[in-house]
Amino acid sequence: MTHPEFDAIVIGAGSVGNPTAYFLAREGLRVLVLDELPSSGQGQNKAAIGGVRATHSDPAKIRLGQQSLEIFSTWATTTGTDIGWKKGGYLFPAYDEAVEGELEQLLPTQKRFGLTIDWCDAETVRRLVPGITRIGLRGGTYSPDDGQVSPLRASEAFTNAAVRHGAVYRYRESVTSLRMDDHAVTGVGTDRDVYRAPVVIDAAGAHGSRIARMAGLDVPVLPESHEAGISAPVRPFLDPLVVDLRPGPEGTTSNFYFGQDADGQIIFCYTPKQPFPGENRTSTFEFMPTVAARLVELVPRLKNLTIRRVWRGLYPMTPDGRPIVGPAPGVKGLLLGLGMCGQGLMLGPGVGRNLASLVLRGRPSIDPDVFALLSPSRDLRTDRKESLK
Amino acid sequence: MESSRIIRHPVLDVPSVPASVEFSFDGRPLTARPSETYAAALIANGVSVFGHHARDGAPQGIFCANGQCAQCLVVEDGRPVKACVTRVRPGGRVRSLDGAPELEPDDVPLRAVPFLRTVDTDVLVVGGGPAGLSAAAELAVRGLRVILCDDKSELGGKLTLQTHNFFGSVADCYAGQRGNDIGHRLEAEVRALPNVDVWTDSPAVGVFDGGGVGVVRQGRFVEVRPKRLLVATGARERALAFPGADLPGVFGGGAFQTLVNRDLVRPSKRLLVVGGGNVGLIVAYQALQAGIDVVALVEAMPECGGYKVHRDKIARLGVPVYTSHTVVRAEGKGRVERVVVAQVGAGFVPIPGTEISFAVDTVLIAVGLSPVDELYGEARRLGLPVFSAGDAHEIAEASAAMFSGRIVARKILADLGMPAEVPPEWLERSRELSARPGPVLGPYPVPEDVRVYPVIRCAQEIPCNPCTEVCPKESITIPERTLLGRPKLVGECVGCLKCLAVCPGLAITLVDRRIDPSGRSAKVTVPWEMPDGLVEAGTTVATTGAEGGPVGTARVIRVLSGKALNRRKMVVLDVPADEADRVAGIRVRETERPKRPANVLPVRDAEVVLCRCERVTKAMVEDYVRATGTRDMNALKAALRTGMGPCGGKTCGELVLRVFRELGIEGAAVTTATRRPFLQEVPIRAFLTEEPHDAS
């Protein structure tokens, strides 16, 4: 019995899988993308709020973020497809010494990696975020090259572009096994068929470790759930995505962030003080009151918003807060693009480009030493978290 | 300008309060009646366009009149509000919404505190219509604590819009009384029960982790944790997709009833009704009652699906009923000015060359109802102990919904471990009440050799018996002994008019052959619910037969009115004796000759808007499905934004599924869109309390 044969199989049509498939197909590889859901981007991708930044504190994430920004920001001009890109920057306001100190401490690393970011005074913050409360405002950092995309349209755009370059998408198909031959991957078995390929990329997001386990690998990616919401559209007034790093006065949030997307909708999220491990995706009753109070207190004019929808998505977390990207240790042909820690959308294009480069040229497209920070072979039993998650 | 307000109505009490509340719309000073909605007040003042869509500038106006869509958004003092559910605030400054609303730069510092409140109860009943009210009463008399929430400010659900006498059985569901009166009766029963907590203006907006139901209780988001949840949220109107269906002036029959029967405004002068089910037939009648002309009713099937008595009622008044016809397009600049209909062939496809057009300002869509079952579905998905009743469970008449509520209440009692059974006769009666109209068997013949007798034109098996209950001589009976059978005169008639006053179908007239000793003429009494002035004593009127065909002319001897007549009038006619048994009604409008439109534009799918919120056309959906082969509504959401707007796909969901079917893809193969809270949009203020900032 002959099985369909491809050059590479991508497991997961999501934030990482779609750009990866696109970059591989664009270079002429015969690519198969498998997803258990009925269409592209239906896992955690669509739960993203769409912020894209290179403003991280980890060098590898800075580099991947920069690549993602380049890909997103030029997408409309290179492909003619609107993905809702909005270059509004990221703004981190500081209302206390702790946050001010934390932000200032990050600036040297961020600048060394070439990020356009600087401290700005309270006046500038108030100009960038009309209506932001002035009481106690000390200033903030602003990175004008960061921005936002529509997660839905971006996923759709990568998928369409990959298909135009010959990639084949199979939906409603669950991966049941990885085909191996002497520590080398030879293909993928699903609940419907078997596909052969010398390269398999595990981009299965929150379910990525289940796939890796099929190759005998223990990849410590555990989902945590986070909630988000979106308003009805209002006339554009807010350019940057705003991240308030202060813990909330209500005692349950550690930071919160929001922005206005290209459709005029205000989209928002908070990070709970106590993480919610697991795959529960049912919205909590507490989310909206909690985030509403933070939004309105920071920008009082938001009290006239109308809330349209809330949802809960999964952050595939790693022990050290860094993604796990690169060749799987001990399994030839298997690559991992996992553990995006809730930043799959913003890191995905960069990750995809590097994974494609690894497949095609045997090396990443960013500095290999920096890329190695994400290596699946690193010591993943550490507990050290990145400061600017 | 008061011309669009209903000042007098043949069967409704119109409060004599003047429109004294002042507000402004786009700077124009206007007035409203106290506690009127903005939508009603604007329509009363002749405004039908409330704004323009942000995407393409399409004019927006009233559509669902039910708080479910957001087509009627206006800006009140800086806040976007739904005009159909927001009451006029004295001095309110209202603007039309052209594009997305601007957030007013009101940045006075404040302290905002999350509003977190959880309420426990035995049963949460969502929906205070016939099913919810009946269920709440049944549960509460057994001692359970019940919270009954409803998104409207009045209980009764759609009963509040029903001005006609109800069908069904007198013993079980107040048949023969007007729906709005039944609503008040049920409400009074429930309000008298101390352990029912009634929350009006309180929509349920979602189910949350841990099984709580989110209710926006009069503007405050509250979590209710019930031991059992009963969803009795009723039905919503199905939409139709045709060019111009998105114009202001095209809306549902139920929306029309809300504006006319509840809000007492006239959103139209001349209209056409699409759909010959009970809703379509009833709204055509109610339009005439409100002084609005009905140029025609079209029905795609070869016969109207509603009760024959409803069809005949409007036909007798002179409204032409075009069966095997459908709406092709609505046209007009900024709002409906004209509608084109055509005969349909196989597959309900319009036959070219059969188009006719009517000059109208409104097209009412009454092509069926769908259960409002999102809350039920979400509760099921999350494993809550949930029940549904009434239209939310199965679309049927309101009389059936009352029964459904009581039956489900008993099931809930049993589920909670309390002794409760559903009497078998309840189930039987419930089946009868929700029965579809049966075959037209014709009426029983009129009696011979009697001088005074009712002519009962009840020709079809429908669940109805009030005439048999009111006759003082017990002379009217249903030989089959079921609610569905046709009534028959079996005894003496004293001419008391009670059966004429009660018959929901207005299908009974009284013939009295005693007045003319020569035997040339007879007295015929016709029940009458039309506006004053159309029929006056001493004038001559055109008489019509049972199904609306012309009979002749007759002189009006007098018009009777009185308390015992159930708000009806009785028109006593002097009719030639040989016509007496045939005269069933009075024509009030001349049927116009249909016009062939000069040029009929072909229907292009690119002009058919499916998703009104996001302005997605049928062509866009077809192209996308063909190009990608997708079977996933979520993919359409992502790519085209169908269902991403304020209504969350409640209107377009079925229309999009229909496109899949037209493309040869069965509904079962299509993944439906994922639901997330909120089932309707919620102002952010519902989630917090504001306090002045101590540093400001």
> DSSP string of B396-457?
--HHHHHHHHHHHHHHHHHHTT------HHHHHHHHHHTPPP--B--PPPPPSS-SEEEEE-
Nearest CA to B257 among B163, B380, B395? Answer: B163
pLDDT at B653 over 70: yes
| pLDDT (0 to 100) of residue A384 | 55
Residue B223 to residue A286: CA distance in whole angstroms: 9
Domains of chain A: residue spans and CATH: 8-50+152-220+320-374 (3.50.50.60), 88-145+223-315 (3.30.9.10)
pLDDT tens per residue across span B243-286: 999 999 999 999 999 999 999 999 999 999 999 999 999 999 99
Note whether B638 contacts A: Cβ–Cβ < 8 A: yes
Q: How confident is the model at residue B1 (pLDDT cuts 50, 70, 90)?
A: very low
CB spacing of B79 vs A304 below 8 angstroms = yes
Contacts of B671 in chain A (CB under 8 A): 38-39
* Beta bridge partners of residue A175, listed in sequence order: A190
Give the span between the Cα atoms of B671 and B633, in whole angstroms: 6
Contact A306 B80 (CB under 8 A): yes
Contacts for B342 with CB less than 8 Å, ≥ 6 apart: B325, B326, B328, B350, B351, B352, B354, B355, B356
**B639 pLDDT above the threshold of 50:** yes
Three-class SS string for A249-312?
A: CCCCEEEEEEEECCCCCEEEEEEECCCEECCCCCCCCCHHHHHHHHHHHHCHHHHHCEEEEEEE
The band of B516, judged by pLDDT with boundaries at 50, 70 and 90, is confident
Chain B residue at shortest CA distance from A126: B107
Rounded CA separation B483/B487 (Å): 9
Most distant pair of Cα atoms in chain B: their distance: 97
At B74-122, the pLDDT tens digits run 999 988 999 999 999 999 999 999 999 999 999 999 999 999 999 999 9
Bridge partners of residue B544, in order along the sequence:
B550, B585
- ipTM > 0.85? yes
Output the six-digit token pair for B630. 């997708």
- Percent share of chain B, pLDDT over 90: 84
Band of residue B377 on the pLDDT scale cut at 50, 70, 90: very high
B121/B204 Cα distance (integer angstroms): 15
Q: Where are the domains of chain B?
A: 21-100+239-365, 118-235+371-433, 452-586, 605-669
Q: Which chain A residue has its CA at the smallest distance from B210's CA?
A: A284
Region B550-579: mean pLDDT is 95
Distance CA A15, CA A42 (A): 10
Specify the higher pLDDT residue, A100 or B69.
Answer: A100
> B223 pairs with which residues across the strands?
B118, B214
**Of the options 2.60.40.420, 3.50.50.60, 3.30.413.10, 3.40.50.720, the CATH number for the domain spanning B118-235+371-433:** 3.50.50.60
B688 lies within 8 A of chain A by CB: yes
Cβ contact A296–B690 (<8 Å): yes
Q: What pLDDT score does B695 carry?
A: 64
Do the chains contact at A156 and B683, CB–CB below 8 Å? no
pLDDT reading at B51 higher than 90: yes
Kindly list the residues from chain A whose CB atom is less than 8 angstroms away from the CB atom of residue B682.
288, 306-307
Q: Do domains B21-100+239-365 and B118-235+371-433 have the same CATH topology?
A: yes
Which among B99, B103, B111 has CB closest to A301? B103
Are the Cβ atoms of B632 and A311 closer than 8 angstroms? no
Name every residue whose Cβ is closer than 8 Å to that of residue B331 and which is 6 or more positions away in sequence. Answer: B243, B244, B337, B338, B339, B340
A290 CB within 8 Å of a chain B CB: yes
How long is chain B? 696
Give me the mean pLDDT over the B568-587 stretch. Answer: 97
With bands split at pLDDT 50, 70 and 90, how would you rate the model's confidence at B34?
A: very high
Taking chain A, what is the end-to-end CA distance rounded to the nearest angstrom?
49
Q: Two tokens at B428?
A: 């039987």
Residues 227-256 in A contacting B (C-alpha not used; CB under 8 Å)? 231-235, 237, 250
Segment (H or E) for B357? strand B356-359
pLDDT for the residue numbered A387: 53
Integer Cα distance of A211 and A222 in angstroms: 13
How does the average pLDDT of chain B come out, rounded?
A: 94
Cβ–Cβ contact B211 with A under 8 A: no
B246: closest CA among B633, B652, B645, B619?
A: B652
**Position B35: which residue type?**
S
The mean pLDDT value of chain A amounts to 95
- Other CB atoms within 10 A of residue B587 CB: 20
Strands B196-199 and B204-207: unpaired
- CATH architecture for residues B21-100+239-365: 3-Layer(bba) Sandwich (3.50)
Q: Is A206 helix (H, G, I), strand (E, B) or coil?
A: helix
Q: Do A296 and B688 touch (CB under 8 A)?
A: yes
Mean pLDDT calculated for residue range A76-104: 96
- H or E element, residue A52: strand A51-52
**Do the chains contact at B109 and A131, CB–CB below 8 Å?**
no
A290 CB neighbours in chain B (<8 A) are 114, 116
Q: Mutate which of A36, A37, A39 to disrupt the B interface (most B C-beta within 10 Å)?
A: A39
How far is B120 from B126, CA to CA, in rounded Å? 15
Cα B442 to Cα B487, B510, B547, distances in angstroms? 11, 18, 12
**B350 and B331 in contact (C-beta within 8 Å)?**
no
pLDDT in tens, B612-628: 999 999 999 999 999 99
* Beta carbons of A293 and B634 less than 8 Å apart: no
d(CA A200, CA A205): 14
Q: Tell me, yes or no, if A135 comes closer than 8 A to chain B by beta carbon.
A: yes
- Positive or negative, the CA dihedral B248, B250, B254, B257 is positive
> CB of B690 within 8 Å of any CB in chain A?
yes
With helix as H, strand as E and coil as C, how does B266-332 read?
CCCCEEEEECCCHHHHHHHHHHHHCCCEEEEEEECCCCCCCCHHHHHHHHHHCCCEEECEEEEEEEC
Report the predicted TM-score, pTM, of the whole model to 2 decimal places: 0.95
Lowest average pLDDT, out of A281-295, B194-208, B275-289, B598-612, goes to B598-612
CB contact, 8 Å: B682 with chain A?
Answer: yes
| Under 8 Å between Cβ of A382 and A222 | no
Query: What is the 8-class DSSP label of residue B495?
Result: -
The alpha-carbon gap from B203 to the nearest alpha carbon of chain A, in Å, equals: 14
Query: From the list A131, A135, A309, which residue is nearest B678 (CB)?
Result: A309
Closest in A234, A237, A297 to B112, CB measured: A297
Q: Which residues contact B627 (CB under 8 A, 6 or more apart)?
A: none
Judge whether A39 is closer than 8 Å to chain B, CB to CB: yes
Q: Do A309 and B684 touch (CB under 8 A)?
A: no
